[in-house]
Every structure is written in structure tokens, then in C-alpha cells.
Structure 1
Amino acid sequence: MSKDTVSAPKTAAGTAPFSYDNVDHREPTGHGNSPAAWTTVFVMLFGALIMAIAYVIANTPVFVAGGAVMIIGLLVGFGMRKAGYGVGGSKLKNSGH
């Protein structure tokens, strides 16, 4: 075994020290904390629960219905994001009150 120390990869010339793969890690990502994201997660979790129960009781139509609920969750989240309830959306701006 080698006793050489392991070092992090060096940045290329002219790039920022916090940049890796063209992503600036100094800015917070927000992690999707919005009504659209939370609604999507809860609806899809409900769909996954339906699918899990259907799998255990071996009921194919209910399993497919759970998958449909998951797809509906995606569509609801997409619609809410377009309506302004996503991260940085127009409905979530602070009005100064």
C-alpha cells in the first residue's frame, strides 16, 4: 500500500474554486420547498401506498389505479408550478405586508 496522501482534484485555470461541472454551489438550491412540490410529493406518496397495498393483496386493477394517482400527482405539481406556486413563483412573492 502506498502512503501517499490523497488530494482533491485541482480546479482548471480560470474557473471559480466553488464551481464543479458548471454548477455554482455558493447559491442555495432551495430544495423544492413550495406548495407545488409538497402537493406533488403527498399525492405521489398516496399513489405509492395504493400500489403497495394492491401488490400485497394481488389486485391488478387497484395497482394500476395507484399508478394513475402517481401520474395525476405529477400533472398536478406541473400545473401548480405553471400557476405560480413553484419555487420563486409569482403567487409566493412577499407583498411587503
Structure 2
Amino acid sequence: MAGSSHGHTPAAWTGVTIAFIGFCISGAFMVLANPLGFWLGLVVVAIGGVVGMAMRAAGMGGKKPEHDDLAKVIAAKTANAA
């Protein structure tokens, strides 16, 4: 997966961070025996998924463009300039 940049995007990081916060909220309220807080935490988890998908749709979740070798870029610019 490391070769495909899976999850290495701002959309993925933001969505997972929000979902993690929601899981922490739900876990805390589960221990405190507060059902309303537990369900509100799960709503935050769902919001994390929606935010991640919205950011992906906005173009923040795509693959990074491949860059050429720096030596090739310099050689091409030098050849075009001459």
C-alpha cells in the first residue's frame, strides 16, 4: 500500500482524525454510562466520514502527480533555451 499513496492525503488525514475524536468521545461516555453522549460521539464519527468524502470530492484526496527526474527537467529546459 505504501507504493500507492493509500491514505496519504489531506482528506484521509482529516476524516480519520475527526472519526478518532468521535470514537474517543463515544468511549468516554460509554464508560460514564451516558447513552446520549455515546450516540453523539458516533455522530461525530459519521461526520468524519462525510468531511473526508467532501474533501476528496473537492480534489484533496487524489494521488500526487509524478515528478520527473530533476536532471531530465534541467536538461530539457537547457535544450529548449538554446
Give the 4+ runs in structure 1 shifted more than 3 A: none
Aligned residues: 66
Q: Decide which of 41, 45, 67 is 2:20's aligned counterpart.
A: 45
Higher helix share goes to which structure?
Answer: 2
Higher relative contact order (CA 8 A, sep 6+): 2
- 1:35 maps to 10
TM-score by length of 1: 0.62
Q: Distance in 1 between matches of 2:22 and 2:65?
A: 31
- CA 1:93–1:28: 2 relative to 1, 3 Å: closer
- CA 1:93–1:30: 2 relative to 1, 3 Å: closer
Instruction: Report percent identity of matched pairs.
Output: 38
Higher strand share goes to which structure?
Answer: 1
Structure 1 contact 33–87 (Cα < 8 Å) conserved: no
Q: Distance in 2 between matches of 1:66 and 1:93?
A: 36
- 2:44 maps to 69
Q: Which blocks of at least 5 consecutive residues in structure 1 are unaligned?
A: 1-24
TM-score by length of 2: 0.73
> Given the alignment of the two structures, is residue 56 of structure 1 paired with residue 31 of structure 2, yes or no?
yes
